[in-house]
Amino acid sequence: MSATSEPTGRPAATSPNDGPSVPIHLRPAREADIPVLVPLLLRLKRLNEEFDPLLKVREDAEAQASRLLHNDLADPKAIVLAAEGVGPDKDKVVGFVRATVRERAFYVPQHEGVILDIYLLPLYRRRGVGEYLLREISSALKAKGAGVVTAEFPAQNEIASRFYQKRGFRPITAIHARSL
């Protein structure tokens, strides 16, 4: 689909196995990545704004993104994985996933691994890289004690809904909004 103004990069071929059809190097993000991760996180938030006017991006979003990522890297409950590209994108961060472990006050399993943001540059999409990121972050969340994995994303973001639905996720809670 091309519901947004982002350029699409759908490749011709898909992977015959269950790994990504492009080699991607996934590793924990570090402080030095933050200047590269900030624009990627902003691209994601601007994409969400295109899907829903109630998600209008703040003017200080860049500073917020930087603050948030710094906090994540210092937080033992948080995980940020950076995906490095290949070929001309070698050593360049082309995507990321960020998540955290939250306690569930009333339900079991008591700890939930929440995927907060997942983003790949358009050229890297639809080749199984997203699934690889999802698999790796799920393992990392499990290793931190999560017994269930959830994903937070805007309901109007069709890419995210289809991506997660295809991977067996289903809605368990919903946040509804109206302007005041």
Ligand X SMILES: CC(C)(COP(=O)(O)OP(=O)(O)OC[C@H]1O[C@@H](n2cnc3c(N)ncnc32)[C@H](O)[C@@H]1OP(=O)(O)O)[C@@H](O)C(=O)NCCC(=O)NCCS
**Site residues (vs ligand X, CB under 6 A):** 1, 44, 47, 117-120, 125-131, 153, 157-160, 162-163, 166
Residue nearest to ligand X (CB): 130
Nearer to ligand X, 61 or 110 (CB): 61
Nearer to ligand X, 168 or 180 (CB): 168
In eight-state DSSP terms, residue 57 is P
Nearer to ligand X, 123 or 148 (CB): 123
In eight-state DSSP terms, residue 154 is -
Distance CA 114, CA 164 (A): 13
Nearer to ligand X, 118 or 141 (CB): 118
Give the nearest distance from C-beta 90 to ligand X in angstroms: 18
Q: Which two tokens stand for residue 119?
A: 């983003």
Would you say 121 and 133 are in contact if contact means Cβ atoms under 8 Å apart? Answer: no
Would you say 95 and 129 are in contact if contact means Cβ atoms under 8 Å apart? Answer: yes
Give the nearest distance from C-beta 108 to ligand X in angstroms: 26
Give the nearest distance from C-beta 38 to ligand X in angstroms: 15
For residue 109, say if its preceding peptide bond is cis, omega within 30 degrees of 0: yes
Give the nearest distance from C-beta 74 to ligand X in angstroms: 22
Output phi, psi for 68, to 5 deg: -60, -45
